[in-house]
């Protein structure tokens, strides 16, 4: 792994990939694989969803807390190198809506390996007094040419934490547009629960593998969440030349009371509490290796010297559920 460090950015370069990180925002600004750009923005913490019909009661509390207008502010950035084998980027941020103060403290660690693996560990600490969350996870935006989604999880239709009995565990796939559910009034849709892995690829089979450690919820769409939330009818939606990928630790339940005044069962609610979740990312081409094979091939742990004050790099081991 080679490093190009500037005043405002760091670029990590491997044999087939490169990753650029902005020191001012702590976000990835570029992710390339064999010269192909995989990323437009993100991944960044996301807690908002386009409200559903059953959210009419909860959404009032969500908007009062500013969940629909969250802004990210970076407080601290650091990078540490493990010889030429890996780099660990640590970012401390705060999330909150303008005028409402800080709602969440967030620590994100990007562990970038010479093997092309990137392990992102996210720790979220909410302030006291917040209502249950709409969702908690990461969102990234990929170019619109990455329009295929495959996953190993519940399917083939959308499944949520309180709507999973009809889902069957298996490997599924299709276009991103096929995952869109055209409800009369546009709203949150297309979530795939309990995914072990997912892959977002282009027509040539090149793209990004996302591995759960151990599981996560995945969804992909060509529509921005704010666009969906504002639309009155599906005809109001304009397909964008972008692919919005949500990788959630969890999402709020759907509920079963269309007028929205009866809250979902408490056991399904996403209560605000300190949470840590980890995802594995790896660029790949189906011509060389499949996501199924990637899910079974985890790099060897990296030898390193750990001082009493240093944070150890995450050990890559098979934690995913097969």
- 8-46 pLDDT, tens digit per residue, is 999 999 999 999 999 999 999 999 999 999 999 989 999
List the CATH number of the domain containing 148. 2.70.98.10
For residue 163, give every residue at least 6 positions away whose Cβ sits within 8 Å of its Cβ, in sequence order, or none.
Answer: 253, 254
For residue 160, is it within any domain?
yes
Q: At CA 285, angle to CA 214 and CA 179, rounded to 5?
A: 60
Confidence check: pLDDT of 309 > 50: no
- Residue 215, helix vs strand vs coil: strand
Q: What is the C-alpha R_g of the chain?
A: 19
Count of domains for the chain: 1
Closest CA to 192 of 211, 206, 172: 172
Question: Is the pTM higher than 0.75?
Answer: yes
Whether 264 and 253 have beta carbons less than 8 Å apart is answered as: yes
In-domain check, residue 242: yes
Contact, 46 vs 108, CB < 8 A? no
Q: Is the pLDDT of residue 318 over 70?
A: no
String of DSSP letters for 157-169: S--BTTB-TT-EE
213 domain-assigned:
yes
Distance separating alpha carbons of residues 29 and 22, to the nearest angstrom: 6
Q: Is residue 120 situated within a structural domain? A: yes
* Angstrom distance (rounded) from CA 266 to CA 80: 42
What is the arithmetic mean of pLDDT over 103-123? 94
**Closest alpha carbon to 245 in 44, 92, 17:** 44
Kindly report, residue by residue over 161-196, the tens digit of the pLDDT.
999 999 999 999 999 999 999 999 999 999 999 999
Which of 246, 240, 198 is CA-nearest to residue 222?
A: 240
Contact (CB, 8 A) for 161 and 268: yes
Q: What is the pLDDT of residue 121?
A: 96
> How many Cβ atoms are within 10 Å of 29's Cβ, its own excluded?
15
CB of 59 closer than 8 Å to CB of 66: no
DSSP secondary-structure letter at 65? T
Assigned domain for 317 exists: no
Give the percent of the chain with pLDDT over 70: 91
Q: What is the mean pLDDT of the chain?
A: 91
In a domain, 320, yes or no: no
Q: What is the DSSP string of 169-204?
A: EEEEEEETGGG----SS--S---EEEEEEEEEE-TT
From residue 170, give the alpha-carbon distance in Å to each of 162, 187, 195: 19, 26, 9
Q: Of the given ranges (84-93, 197-206, 300-309), which has the lowest mean pLDDT?
A: 300-309
3-state secondary structure of 140: strand
**N-term to C-term CA, the chain:** 30
Residue 312 lies in a domain: no
- The pLDDT value recorded for residue 1 is 83
Could you tell me the residue range of the domain that residue 243 belongs to?
2-293
């Amino acid at each position: 792994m080679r490093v190009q460090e500037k005043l405002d950015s760091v670029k990590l370069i491997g044999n087939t990939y490169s990753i650029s990180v902005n020191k001012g925002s702590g976000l990835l600004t570029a992710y390339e694989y064999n010269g192909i750009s995989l990323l437009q923005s993100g991944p960044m913490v996301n807690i908002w969803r386009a409200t559903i019909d059953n959210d009419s009661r909860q959404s009032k509390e969500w908007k009062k807390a500013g969940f629909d207008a969250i802004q990210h502010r970076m407080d601290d950035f650091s990078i540490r190198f493990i010889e030429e084998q890996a780099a660990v980027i640590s970012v401390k941020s705060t999330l909150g809506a303008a005028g409402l103060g800080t709602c969440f403290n967030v620590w994100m660690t990007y562990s970038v390996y010479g093997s092309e693996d990137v392990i992102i560990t996210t720790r979220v600490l909410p302030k006291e007094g917040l209502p249950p969350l709409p969702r908690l996870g990461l969102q990234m935006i990929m170019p619109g040419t990455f329009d295929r989604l495959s996953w190993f999880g519940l399917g083939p239709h959308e499944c949520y934490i309180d709507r999973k009995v009809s889902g069957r565990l298996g490997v599924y796939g299709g276009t991103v547009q096929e995952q869109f559910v055209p409800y009369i009034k546009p709203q949150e849709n297309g979530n795939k629960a309990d995914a072990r892995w997912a892959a977002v690829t282009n027509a040539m089979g090149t793209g990004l593998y996302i591995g759960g450690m151990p599981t996560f919820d995945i969804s992909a769409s060509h529509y921005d969440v704010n666009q969906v939330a504002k639309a009155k009818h599906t005809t109001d939606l304009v397909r964008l030349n972008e692919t919005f990928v949500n990788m959630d630790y969890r999402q709020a339940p759907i509920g079963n009371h269309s007028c929205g005044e009866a809250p979902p069962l408490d056991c399904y609610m996403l209560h605000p509490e300190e949470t840590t979740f980890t995802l594995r990312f790896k660029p790949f081409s189906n011509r060389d290796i499949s996501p199924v094979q990637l899910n079974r091939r985890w790099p060897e742990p990296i030898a390193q010297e750990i001082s009493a004050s240093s944070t150890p790099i995450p050990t890559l081991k098979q934690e995913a559920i097969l």
